[in-house]
Every structure is written in structure tokens, then in C-alpha cells.
Chains A and B, each alone.
Chain A
Amino acid sequence: MDERANSVDAASEADEADGDPLRIIIADDSHSDRLILQAMVRRLGHQVILAEDGYEAVELFREHHPQIVLLDVMMPRMDGMDAARHIKALAGDTLVPVIFLTSLSDADALARCLEAGGDDFLSKPYNRTIIEAKINAFNRMRLMHRTLSVQRDLIRAHNEQLLTEQDIARRVFENIAHTGCLDAPNINYHVSPMSVFNGDILFACPRPSGGMNVLIGDFTGHGLPAAIGAMPVAEIFYGMTSKGFHSGDVLREINQKLARILPSDMFCCAAFMEFDFHSGSVNVWNGGLPAGFLLRKNGRRDSLPSTHLPLGVLSPERFSAEVQQYRVNVGDTVLFATDGVLEAENHDADMFGDARLHAALDSASGQRPPLRALLDSVSDFTGDQQSGDDLTLVSVDIVPAADLEELPLRVAASALSGPAHWVCEYEVTGETLANFNPLPLLLHICMEVPALRRSSGEVYTVLSELYTNALEHGVLELPSDWKDSAEGFGRYYAERERRLKSTGGHRIRFRLEHETTGKEGRLKVICQDTGAGFNYTDQKRSALDHDGYTGRGLALVRHLCTSVRHLGAGNEVEAEYHWSLNRQPEVKGSPDNESR
């Protein structure tokens, strides 16, 4: 077959319309019948190509690509039925109506004609009105078929393009979201590779101070629009968490960003979990996700209900980042799922629902963790292997803090060799103490020193414990022994909230001094507050590793630093942190940081 001729032909037919003249082959071995039919068809305005038998009809079909073929049934060399088979095969996807010319009236013979690929009959002797009606009817069918084929090809092409684009978008998204710690030993999760196109998101990131933040969410809508919203959320979540920002700051930033960029009918139902494995607490913010669960080791189940509007709905002024704080112990598990679980449908269009969810959690055991039990139960219920595509679940086990020290922390590394000798003073005053966290900024300054970057966790702990000590015990005068009991724990934080409203006139001043010989270095941190201080020469009260006025925080600082001492009226602490390239940091950096 001549492909070039075929494509020219296709192009010339592209704008053909109903009523245009057609090329029609008439194949009949009877000379007189041929001429009669030719005259009739020509009178209708069509172009006629004549063939004397089936073989010639097929040859002429190859050459002229006619739109309609009229075939006598019985012809020498090749009969109409064979010719019809050949022509239909040559036409492929294109509809070329084949109409048999026949004086047969035997039903079996007529049926065989149609089985060979014929579309209809014209009985001899010919009737002009019938011929015209049939040619017109088949031409309409042919045009409709062609329109559908063109549209089908277009849809197929669009779909292929969409899949290609989704694949690219998914890879970009994976690059943004890859720094997570979802593979940490205490996290179980289920998320489909294409979940971002269902609008589902799941991120986890270690914090510089230890512990981790986890965000699970569900955007309204599907496909690319939902995926677009996920990109900035991933950037903000990972960027701010790894710099040491607290849940409130991260949530406010995400909400503000989404409220600004998304149309008002798009938002993100989400739950944010901030785990602190050292102190055994988790802060939960739930805006629009079905209640999560705090599964206690003893079998009790606490609900973590949604108490906020979803992210991206409220203006920054009205948004609340208030979290619920829970005390947790090793062996407890926090579990969240998107609404795909509750709304999973079986073949009778029943939903999975709360009762089945609780039954599934009841069936969990040591061998079958809650998340696995829940997933199994959903797929048993729906009876559908594909149902997992719409489900996103995460569970985080509370483990001893020491179990997670290997988690790689990726603080953006500077290409420069970094500052060697520097001093920085930074003071936070008045109401700013209540609503601003200076630690990310201070950590950022310290992380400019490559060697300190290797032990960012320790540096952050030193900074944050000194700051917490100055704020909570110095400025706010909160007694740390309250935190020893469960009731006191709540009371402590309620009181902290209350006292933060009257920080006017107070200030906390940081002085950071860094010097290095190249292989070793020293970071001196002096933190001074405007609290009353205390008599640190009193042996009993100044014991730093004792649960006294100064709390457990400073004991931790002392463990990390070579020296920690109180100065002035007891409202000033000086801590010296030493680093050495010969010593492995206790919290390991990621491999690529270590090679620098």
C-alpha cells in the first residue's frame, strides 16, 4: 500500500462534508447492469469507478480509496464476498460501506454476504429512489464514524499526554518531598504512588531538637489542581521543620500560603503531629480530618478529633494554630487516616464507617500492627484490590528517644567554608517573648559553621534548653516540678499560656561566640534573662543534674557541653560547646554532610 498516497488522501478528506460528491466503485461482471447503475449514480452527482470483477475492484480500491463500494455477488476471478473481505481488511479503521448488488432472495446467501463484511444490499432491478436513500444513509454513517474516530484518537492522545505530564509532576513532587523520614523505624504508613493526584499528602521530618513532625492531609479535588497545592505545603513543612520552627509557625505559614494561592473552594483537611520523644509528649492539630487515635499500650483509645477549619480556609488573622497536647509513653501509637478509610464503599455502596474502624483496631495485635489491621479490614470490606489507591494512613509509635538518633537531618548546606571567628548578640524583648521563637534564627547562624552543622541536634538542644530555661523559669517563674505529675503537666502549660500574656518589660539576651583552630572549635552561648534569678551558690539548689529550680533542661545542656555555669544574680547561664573533627558527633549528619 502506498502510504504517501493514503496520507494525502486523508488530508484531502479532512474537511469533507455531507453532500459533497463521493468516489464510488461499482463492480459487476454484467456490462449492461454496470452501465445502468453508473448512469444512476452519476446523476446523483458522484464520481464512479468501474470494475469488471472482484479482483479489479480490490486493485482499484487500493488505487483510488473510494468512500463507498457497490459489489455484485457473483463475479469471475474473485466473487463479491471475497472482494468485500479484502476491501474491509484494507480499509482498516476507516468505515467504507460495502453494499452488495444482488438478485438473490435466498436468506442464507444474503446472510453470508453480511458475514463477509457487507453492510447492506441493493436488489436488482435498481430503483433510483432506494439507491439515493441508501448512498446518503451510508455516507452519513461513514461521516459519523470518522468524527468519532478522530475524537477517539484525540482523547487517546490527550490521555497519553496527561499521563506523561502526571509522571513528570510526580517526579518533581518526589524530589520536593523526598527528604522525609517516613522510613523511620517507628513509622508505618500506606500511601499510593499516585496519591498526590488524589489530593492526599503525607510528610514526616525530624526536628533539629530530636523528635519529628508529621503532616497528613487531603486536598479537595483530584488530579493536577490538588497536586499543585501539595508542592508548597511540602516545601514549607520540610523547610521550616528542619530549621527548628514549631508546629504553630509551620501551620500558620502553610495556611497563609494556601489561603493566598488556592481558589476559595479548594482547601486541605490536615492533621499535624509534633512528637517529642524526650519529654514524652505529642502536640496534635486537626483541621478537618476524621478523628485520629492515640492507641495506648494498655488498650485504651483516645480520640484526636478535628477542632479547626481545614488549612487554606481562614485568613491569617482568624487562623488558630492551637494544638492539643497529650502525654505519651513508650508503646503508645498515634494513628491518622484520610476520609478514604471511613468512606471506602463495598459493592452494595455501604461505607466502611466508624464501627468497622473500631472493630479493625480491636483486632490489632503484636504481629499485626493497627495500621495493617485497618488496611486489611478495608480491603476485605471493599473486596477490591484497587481500593488502596484512595487511602492514606500513617501511624507513629512512641519509642525511646535514643532509638531515633540515627535519623538524618538535612539542613541546607552552604557551599562556602563558613565563618570561623564571630560574635552575635540577639535580644528578644517584651511581648515578642510571647509570640516569637528565636531558635530557628539562632540555629541558622550557628549552622553557617560546617562543623557545627554535623551536630545540629546538639547545638539546637543547647540553644533551646537555655532559652526555655530563661523563659519558663526565669521570666515566667514556673516551677518545673509541676511537670512531674499528669495533672501538673497540664497545669504547667495552662499557666505558661496565661503568664505569657504579661511579659512586658522582660527580655532574654543571647550572646554567641565562636572560635576555631580549624580542627577544633568552641561555641560559647550566654543566655541572660530579666528574671529574679536565684542563689546558685546554695549547693542544694545549684545541683544542675537535680530536679530543682533549674529543671531537667540544664542537666541535658551540661551533658552536651564542657562547662555550664551560672553568673550574676543567677539569671545568666554560660555554656561552652566544643567540637572536634576527630570526634564523631552523637547525632549523625547525613552522609553527604559528613564528606564535607
Chain B
Amino acid sequence: MAIQSRRSEDGRTLVISIDGRFDFSSHQSFRDAYEHGDQQVNDYVIDMSDTTYLDSSALGMLLLLRDYAGGDAGRVRIENCNSDVKRILSISNFEQLFSIK
């Protein structure tokens, strides 16, 4: 389970990639991925291309990021979900809170 983050060229978008299972064990590294960023970042992209599974504590972590990004005003996109991940997101109706692709 590895979490990597990189900035877009203009520095305004932070892309966080999650490799493998996204569950409670990644709590700290997920927070580290966005909490130490500077003020310039105003867009967040969670890249789930290599995410195999996510559990309810991962959903909780996504809500924490959403709060950090400014709650209802924040811009967080979740991208490249496989069908299992998409199913879990849609059972919880997270498309009402995040833009999911």
C-alpha cells in the first residue's frame, strides 16, 4: 500500500495516487500527503488507477480531505476508479460530495 502525491506544473493541483488497498492502515500516509502542502493548492485529485479496494475508514479519510479542502466549497475529484471502488463510492452516494470519474 503506497500513497504518492505530486503537484501539477502550476502548483495549484495536488494529485494523490493510492496503490493497492485503501484502508485504515493508510490513515497517516494519506493525511501526510495533503496536510503539508502549501497554500497555493486549491484543487485535489485522488487518482485511484491502482486502488484495488476501499473500506469505510477510507471513505472517512476522503471526508477529512474534503473538510481540509474547504468543505462544500472545496474541490476534490476522484478519478480512474475501478468498478469495485466505484460500487463502494456509489453505495455511500459519495458522488453527491465529490466529482467522481
Chain A contacts to B: CB under 8 angstroms: 218, 220-221, 264-267, 269, 287-291, 306-310, 313, 339
Contact = CB atoms under 8 A, between A and B. Distances in A.
B97 interface: yes
A266 B92 CA distance: 13
Contacts of B93: 287-288, 306-309
B92 A310 contact: yes
A288 B67 contact: no
B100 interface: no
B34 interface: no
B60 A220 contact: yes
A367 B66 CA distance: 49
Given A264-B63, A313-B97, A306 B56 contact: no
Q: Please name the 6 residue pairs, one residue from A and one from B, whose CB atoms are nearest each other, closest first.
A: A265-B60, A288-B92, A220-B56, A265-B64, A309-B93, A220-B60
Interface in B42-85: 56-57, 59-61, 63-64, 66-67
Nearest to B97: A309
The dominant DSSP class at the A interface is loop
B97 A220 contact: no
A50 B28 CA distance: 56
Contacts, number: 49
Given A220-B56, A269-B56, A313-B97, A306 B64 contact: no
A264 B67 CA distance: 8
Contacts of A221: 56-57, 60
A291 B61 CA distance: 23
Given A220-B56, A220-B57, A309-B97, A269 B64 contact: no
Contacts of B63: 264-265, 267, 313
A339 B57 CA distance: 13
Given A290-B91, A306-B91, A265 B97 contact: no
A267 to B, nearest CB: 7
A309 B98 CA distance: 12
Contacts of A269: 56, 91-92
A290 B59 CA distance: 15
Contacts of B96: 309
B1 to A, nearest CB: 15
Given A264-B64, A309-B96, A313-B97, A289 B56 contact: no
A266 B60 contact: yes
A293 B96 CA distance: 24
14 contacts: A220-B59, A264-B60, A264-B67, A265-B60, A266-B60, A267-B59, A269-B91, A269-B92, A306-B90, A306-B93, A309-B92, A309-B97, A313-B63, A339-B91
Interface of B: 56-57, 59-61, 63-64, 66-67, 90-94, 96-97
Contacts of A266: 60
Nearest to A315: B72
A291 B56 CA distance: 16
Contacts of B90: 306
A466 to B, nearest CB: 38
B60 A288 contact: no
Given A290-B91, A306-B92, A267 B60 contact: yes
A288 B89 CA distance: 9
Nearest to B59: A220
A291 B59 CA distance: 18
Contacts of B97: 309, 313
Nearest to B94: A309
B34 to A, nearest CB: 14
Nearest to B31: A265
Nearest to A289: B91
Contacts of B64: 264-265
A529 B90 CA distance: 44
B92 A265 contact: no
Contacts of B92: 269, 287-288, 306, 309-310
Given A218-B56, A265-B61, 12 more contacts: A220-B56, A220-B57, A220-B59, A267-B59, A267-B63, A291-B91, A306-B90, A306-B92, A306-B93, A307-B93, A308-B93, A309-B93
A308 B61 CA distance: 19
Contacts of A290: 91
Contacts of A339: 56, 91
Contacts of B60: 220-221, 264-267
Nearest to B61: A265
Contacts of B94: 309
A310 B57 CA distance: 13
Nearest to A219: B56
Contacts of A308: 93
A267 B59 CA distance: 9
